[in-house]
C-alpha cells in the first residue's frame, strides 16, 4: 500500500478508492486494520476509501453480516463481485436477486454505500448489471451504488443495452470504466490475437446521463501486469481505447470532477478560485499535446507547494 501511495502522490493523484479482498473474517480484519492505519497516515496527502471485495455468494452465510459490521466500523463501502467463489462472470447465479437484496439490506441498515465488480466478461450471458439496477429500485436503496467494469454489456444486442442502461439511469447507478485493465484482460487467449477492446459502452452510458468515471485498476499484479498508479497515463490511454476525442469535449472530467462527485471527494478534482491549489501543470498547450507525450516532466503542486518528482525505487519492494 505504501509503495503504491508514494507512486500515486508523485504522479498527482489526490484520491483513491481501493477494493480490499475480504474472503474470510480473519483476512478481512487484518486487511482492514492495515487500511485504517494507512488511511490515517496519508490523510493529509491522499483521500483514501476502501470497499470490501468478496464474491457475492458470501452473503448467503452469516459472514455477510459480520463483514458489513466490519466495514461500517471501518468507515468503508460494502461491495462484492457479482459471481460465485471460483466462478466466472458469464454464469449468472440462480439466486443473484436475493443475494443482491441481502447485500443492499445490510448496507441500508448500516448507512453504507455499495460498490460492485460487475460483468467483467466478454460473455453476453453476463447480465448482472440489469439485476443490480433492478435490485436498487426494488429495495428503494437510498445509498450510492457504483458498478465497475460492465464489459459484457458492449457485446449484447442493442435493445438489451438500451433496456439495461435505462434501468441504471432510473436507479441512479454510477459506472467506473477501467479501460487499461479490461483491454489487457478481456478476450485474452494464448496464441490468439484479441478481437475486441473489452471496454464498456461508455458513450451510450453518458448519453443516458449516467455518471461514468475513468479509473485504473490493479498495478503489477496477477490481473494487470503493468501500471504505476498514474491517472494521467490512464486518461491518455482511455482517450485512445474509448475514442473520447474529436472533439475532446468534457472527456477530462471523467478523470476529475465526475469521480470526485461519485465518491464524494469534496473539492478534489476541480480547479476553482480560492481553492486549495492542488494542481498538475503540464508542458502542453492543448489536450492534443497533452496526449502525445508521457508528461514525465509534469509539475505536481499540493496546496501551493511542489511535490517531489522522485518516484519510489522498485528496490524498495525487495524486502516484501
Instruction: Give the residue numbers annotated as catalytic, written as ranges.
Output: 120
What number of H helices and E strands is found in the chain? 11, 10
Q: From residue 61, give the alpha-carbon distance in Å to each of 54, 70, 85, 117, 131.
A: 12, 15, 13, 20, 21
Kind of pairing between the strands at 78-81 and 145-149: unpaired
* 8 Å CB contact between 29 and 53: no
Q: What is the DSSP letter of 15?
A: E
Cα atoms in the 13 Å half-sphere on the side-chain side of 70: 26
Q: What is the Cα–Cα distance from 106 to 68, expressed in whole angstroms?
A: 6
Q: What is the DSSP annotation of 251-316?
A: GGGGGTHHHHHHTT-TTTT---TTS---EEE-S-SSHHHHHHS--TT-EEEETTEEPP--PPPGGG
Q: What is the Cα–Cα distance from 143 to 315, expressed in whole angstroms?
A: 42
Cα atoms in the 13 Å half-sphere on the side-chain side of 254: 31
Q: From residue 51, give the alpha-carbon distance in Å to each of 23, 39, 309.
A: 12, 13, 30
How many residues appear in the chain? 320
* 8 Å CB contact between 162 and 191: no
Amino acid at each position: 500500500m505504501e509503495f503504491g501511495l508514494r507512486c500515486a502522490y508523485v504522479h498527482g493523484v489526490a484520491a483513491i478508492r481501493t477494493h480490499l479482498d475480504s474472503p474470510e473474517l480473519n483476512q478481512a480484519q487484518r486487511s482492514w486494520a492495515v487500511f485504517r492505519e494507512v488511511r490515517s497516515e496519508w490523510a493529509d496527502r491522499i483521500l483514501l476509501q476502501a470497499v470490501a471485495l468478496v464474491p457475492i455468494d458470501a452473503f448467503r452465510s452469516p459472514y455477510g453480516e459480520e463483514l458489513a459490521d466490519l466495514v461500517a466500523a471501518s468507515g468503508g463501502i460494502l461491495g462484492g463481485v457479482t459471481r460465485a467463489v471460483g466462478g466466472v462472470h458469464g454464469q449468472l447465479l440462480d439466486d443473484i436477486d436475493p443475494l443482491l437484496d441481502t447485500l443492499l439490506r445490510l448496507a441500508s441498515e448500516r448507512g453504507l454505500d455499495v460498490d460492485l465488480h460487475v460483468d467483467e466478461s466478454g460473455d453476453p450471458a453476463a447480465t448482472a448489471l440489469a439485476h443490480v439496477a433492478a435490485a436498487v429500485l426494488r429495495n428503494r436503496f437510498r445509498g450510492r451504488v457504483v458498478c465497475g467494469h460492465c464489459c459484457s454489456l458492449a457485446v449484447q444486442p442493442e435493445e438489451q443495452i438500451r433496456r439495461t442502461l435505462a434501468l441504471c439511469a432510473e436507479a441512479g447507478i454510477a459506472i467506473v470504466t477501467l479501460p487499461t485493465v479490461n483491454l489487457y484482460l478481456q478476450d485474452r487467449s494464448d496464441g490468439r490475437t484479441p478481437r475486441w477492446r473489452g471496454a464498456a459502452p461508455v458513450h451510450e452510458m453518458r448519453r443516458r446521463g449516467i455518471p461514468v468515471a475513468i479509473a485504473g485498476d490493479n498495478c503489477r499484479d496477477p490481473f494487470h501486469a503493468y501500471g504505476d498508479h498514474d491517472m494521467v497515463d490512464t486518461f491518455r490511454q482511455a482517450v485512445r481505447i474509448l475514442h473520447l476525442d474529436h472533439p475532446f469535449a468534457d472527456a477530462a472530467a471523467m478523470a476529475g470532477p465526475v469521480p470526485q462527485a461519485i465518491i464524494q471527494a469534496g473539492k478534489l478534482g476541480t480547479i476553482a478560485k480560492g481553492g486549495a491549489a492542488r494542481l498538475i501543470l503540464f508542458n502542453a498547450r492543448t489536450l492534443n499535446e497533452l496526449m502525445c507525450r508521457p508528461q514525465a516532466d509534469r509539475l505536481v503542486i499540493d496546496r501551493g507547494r511542489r511535490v517531489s518528482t522522485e518516484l519510489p525505487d522498485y528496490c524498495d519492494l525487495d524486502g516484501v
